[in-house]
Amino acid sequence: MNEHSARELQKWLRSTAQGARVYSLEQKLVSESLAQVFGWQLLQIGFWGDDDALIAEARTQRKSLLAWHGEHGQRQTSLIRSRTDSLAIGSDAIDAVLLPHTLEYSADPHEILREVGRILSGEGHLIVLGFRPLSVWGLRHLFAKHGHPPGLERMIGERRLRDWLKLLGFEVVDARRYMFALPWGSPEPSSRSVFERSGEQISPMLAGGYLLKARKRVYTLTPIRPRWRFRQKVVGGLIEPTTRMNGR
């Protein structure tokens, strides 16, 4: 994403009723997903909004933002500038990673996931926000001149993302769908429950967005010891009598 697209995206999230509603809802969903995530370091890769509200309530000891573009307003977290295809972070150093639509705004989402797998510690958590291409939000993005939301490169389906995570050794432990309202106009206050998650009880396929929470699995190798068999002794070419034979 270039600087112009980044500014347009932040403007959509801040200044439009639809963007503000999406951001508010995703803030709530991420907060719920991070409620049981503990450890020393949480890293959010990519700006989504102009502050650190998505990870403000995380329970890790430290929280950081990593980005390669955009401006950052009020924040209480440390800011890291780095390329996403080669993160300036040591291996197995992060306890949790948040990707708020980062993969959809990247030219090489596979490389980001590989780097995330490298920096995450064993049993570390990954939380990904994405838009569903097979939805009305996907249609809105397809026919928008500059993408919708602004600057969006592509939409990555939930099933495809699950396959990628499985190949990298991740296990999906939670999945949520949201945005059950049309991506046109301004959502009415009375439609708040429908816009959020009540539609998931009817059909998750109607959702415009999804959240996946995965855990990096580390499998230890258990050595298999050889099975020793008792071999009868041979004395002078004859089999040595056993105790049972002597008794007889």
pLDDT tens string, the chain, 248 residues long: the values are 667 777 888 888 888 888 988 999 999 999 999 999 999 999 999 888 867 889 988 999 999 999 765 555 555 566 777 777 778 899 999 999 999 999 998 889 999 999 999 999 999 999 999 999 988 888 888 887 777 888 888 899 999 999 999 999 999 999 999 988 777 766 554 444 445 554 455 566 678 999 999 999 986 656 666 665 555 555 555 545 555 555 54
Are 187 and 193 in contact by the 8 Å Cβ rule? The answer is no
Q: What is the domain partition of the chain in residue ranges?
A: 3-247
State if pTM tops 0.85.
Answer: no
**Cis peptide bond upstream of 183, omega within 30:** no
Q: What is the CA radius of gyration of the chain?
A: 26
Identify the CATH number of the domain defined by range 3-247. Answer: 3.40.50.150
| 116: its two tokens | 């995330």
Contact (CB, 8 A) for 66 and 43: yes
- Tell me the three state secondary structure of residue 158: helix
